[in-house]
Amino acid sequence: MKLFGRRAGRAPEHSGARPALSSTASYAAGAWPPSYETQVRDGYGRNPVAQRAVRLVAEAVGSAPLLASDPALGALVHGAAGGQALLETVSTQLMLHGNAFVQLLRDAEDGVAALYALRPERVTAACDASGWPAAYLYRVGSRVTRLSADGPRPEVVHLKAINPLDDHYGMGCLPAAATAIAGHNAAGAWNRALLDNAARPSGALVYEPGDGSTLSPEQFARLRTEMEQGFAGAAQAGRPMLLEGGLRWQALSLTPADMDFIELKAAAAREIALAFGVPPMLLGLPGDSTHANYREANRALWRLTVLPLAGMILSGLAQALGGWFADAALAVDLNQVPALSEDRERLWGSITAADFLTREEKRAMLGIGEPSDE
């Protein structure tokens, strides 16, 4: 595999951790923030659609019933370290950042005591001479911890989403959802501003002195200050205005087309849901008729998003833990997933009706071993 390294003889340390989405543009109003932490605050913390979509998938992965080759292995993966639920945390990091780094915490006997997900934006790959990661550097302030990734018992395992443009770092869903999230947030801010101003521009003060003169700079500044302090904002809505000196109030309003941001927000919300692999119906979004009902949408969520993500995470953890657990294997127990009960019933029915199969062949197709004699 090292034949496919980027360049032989490169510097042993990677040039830095990759954010979920890089940008050279300055972070101004309406722009997408360049740093990962700011992206998470704006794209996940301030956007209800993105947050609910991520939590829906992550909580499903975290609560999925597991099949483990060793009970201790299953307890380790489903356990919690440092107050975090491992599978839910890792799923969230993969969707947002595209990378998840799980540290294998050792006990006094060099066994694995717990698994802890590190903050992905703090981790940097340290590559060997052939360009492949030999270790990972975890930076917290000025402190740097080196975690080995080589050997049968690594100190950290790197899980990543597919990124066609990078050999070492994955790509999350935030870049694909960035435009829709920015538009959804901007539409919400615009609607809030309209509500603060009675859903219309208050109007215009027309100066009609009769002699063709205009307001002096001092008069204009004083009038503007009085308008902002005495009449702007929701708390001043409906307050009467006293005019003098040739001023006349000209009311203005927006057309219904100018005020209608509902369709814009709904379209942006559906794009956000699409980027994170969640059927819009499960998020309560209007205007989506892809699925006939919630049951079909929930099954599509598990089949198309939850199970592939959980499978990638569990296979990576099982491979990393192979040095401690012989023939380590982890998988989702499909027979225990309520959303897939109809699929399971159809499978059992079709296999039961297959008269050309023997009893042993049917049990093998269903993944059921022969009953014990005890």
The H-or-E segment that residue 54 falls in is helix 48-63
Top-confidence residue, 223 or 373: 223
The H-or-E segment that residue 184 falls in is helix 174-196
pLDDT greater than 90 at residue 61? yes
Q: How far apart are CA 235 and CA 63, in angstroms?
A: 46
Q: How far apart are CA 250 and CA 236, in angstroms?
A: 18
What average pLDDT score do residues 336-347 get? 83
Tally of CB atoms within 10 A around 49:
26
On average, the pLDDT of the chain sits at 79
**200 Cβ partners below 8 Å, 6+ apart?**
194, 252, 253, 254, 259
What average pLDDT score do residues 92-102 get? 95
For 18-59, what is each residue's pLDDT tens digit? 444 443 334 444 455 678 888 898 889 999 999 999 999 999
**237 Cβ partners below 8 Å, 6+ apart?**
198
DSSP string over 191-216: HHHHHHTTTS---EEEE--SSS----
Top-confidence residue, 225 or 20: 225
Q: Are strands 204-207 and 247-250 parallel, antiparallel or unpaired?
A: antiparallel
**257 Cβ partners below 8 Å, 6+ apart?**
none
pLDDT greater than 60 at residue 241? no
What average pLDDT score do residues 11-24 get? 41
Nearest Cα neighbor of 103 from 153, 147, 133 is: 147
Give pLDDT, residue 213. 64
98-107, 181-190, 236-245: least confidently modelled range:
236-245
Measured in residues, the chain has a length of 374
pTM value is 0.73
Give pLDDT, residue 229. 66
pLDDT band at 151 (very low <50, low <70, confident <90, very high): confident
Q: Are 301 and 278 contacting, i.e. CB atoms less than 8 angstroms apart?
A: yes
Which amino acid, residue 221? A
What average pLDDT score do residues 251-263 get? 60
Give pLDDT, residue 119. 94
Q: How far apart are CA 77 and CA 73, in angstroms?
A: 6
Q: Are 49 and 269 contacting, i.e. CB atoms less than 8 angstroms apart?
A: yes
Top-confidence residue, 88 or 2: 88
pLDDT greater than 60 at residue 296? yes
pLDDT greater than 60 at residue 248? yes
pLDDT band at 186 (very low <50, low <70, confident <90, very high): confident
Hey, which residues does 144 pair with through a beta bridge?
139
Q: What are phi and psi of 223, to 5 degrees?
A: -65, -40
Q: How far apart are CA 374 and CA 372, in angstroms?
A: 5
Give pLDDT, residue 16. 43
Q: Angle, to 10 degrees, between the axis of helix 262-275 and the axis of helix 48-63?
A: 30
Top-confidence residue, 259 or 365: 365
Taking the chain, what is the end-to-end CA distance rounded to the nearest angstrom?
48
What average pLDDT score do residues 173-184 get? 88
Top-confidence residue, 150 or 275: 275
Q: How far apart are CA 106 and CA 91, in angstroms?
A: 23
Q: Are 96 and 89 contacting, i.e. CB atoms less than 8 angstroms apart?
A: no
E strands, 245-356, are 247-250, 330-332
The percentage of the chain sitting over the pLDDT mark of 70, rounded to a whole number, equals 71
pLDDT greater than 70 at residue 363? yes
Q: What are phi and psi of 368, to 5 degrees?
A: -110, 125
The H-or-E segment that residue 275 falls in is helix 262-275
